[in-house]
A = this chain, B = another copy of it.
Amino acid sequence: MISSQAQIGENVTFGKGVIIEHDAIIGNNVKIGHYSIIETGTIIGDNCLIGSHVKLGKSTARNANMISNKDEEIFPLTIGNEVIISDHCVLYHSTIINNQVFIGDLASIREQVVVGKNSVIGRQAIIENQTQIGKQVTIQTGSYITANMIIEDEVFIGPCCSTSNDKYMKSGGKNLKGPIIKKGAKLGNHATLLPNITIGEFAIIGAGAIVVKDVNARETIIGVAGKLLDK
């Protein structure tokens, strides 16, 4: 079910049951696995490998209990060259995946995200909307990257880390601000980051640490780093 209004490059191979909606643009030498769905307008570069049961370019839906970012700019999901997107991934519209990115099985990336060149998004990792990820970043399996977060180049985030952006927990969508993780910083597995903190360049956060305030460049933080709330 490939729309006649899609642009398909040379030497593209489709698995069984692939769906390409209208106005999608697919480069040369792309391979798409079985039962994957490429939604309207999605742009895929050359030499990409798309897994099975994948959805690319998903539209947003929400109920009355969820925050809407009405002033977002809408554009197609745009995927560079030599990108690998593994099985069961769900990537939304209005996001940019740069060249040579690898995205593991069962991962999900929301709208208004940029993933820089050669970065790795692990299996089951989730990237929320409006987050910027630099080049050669590693986000390992199962980590949760919140909305409105900045991750600079060469950052390493171990498995099962969790981040947050809403100090007052559902305070109405104002002032959501995720952490900033500066160049080359490393987070051990299962670390927890509070909202609106900065992890300095080449800082090291130990496994299981709870980071509640800024960490200086090249500092090492372990355990429970401080109090959560000012009282």
Chain A, interface SS category: loop
Minimum C-beta distance from A156 to chain B (A): 5
Minimum C-beta distance from A140 to chain B (A): 9
Interface locus among A3-11, A68-76, A200-208:
A200-208
Which residues from B are CB-within-8-Å of A84?
61-63
- Contacting pair B141 A170 (CB below 8 A): no
Q: For the complex, give the distance between the alpha carbons of A16 and B194 in Å.
A: 43
A173 touches B (CB below 8 Å): no
- Contacting pair A224 B227 (CB below 8 A): no
Residues of A in contact with B (beta carbons under 8 Å apart): 1, 15-17, 19, 33-35, 37, 49, 52-53, 55, 58, 61-66, 82, 84, 86-88, 90, 100-102, 105-106, 108, 118-120, 123-124, 126, 128, 136, 138, 141-142, 144, 146, 156, 158-160, 162-164, 166, 169-170, 186, 188-190, 192, 194, 204, 206-210, 212, 220, 222-224, 227-229
The 24 listed contacts between A and B (C-beta, < 8 Å) are A16-B19, A17-B17, A19-B34, A33-B37, A53-B53, A61-B86, A63-B101, A65-B102, A86-B90, A90-B105, A108-B124, A126-B142, A142-B162, A144-B160, A146-B189, A156-B169, A163-B189, A169-B188, A188-B228, A194-B207, A207-B212, A210-B223, A222-B228, A223-B227
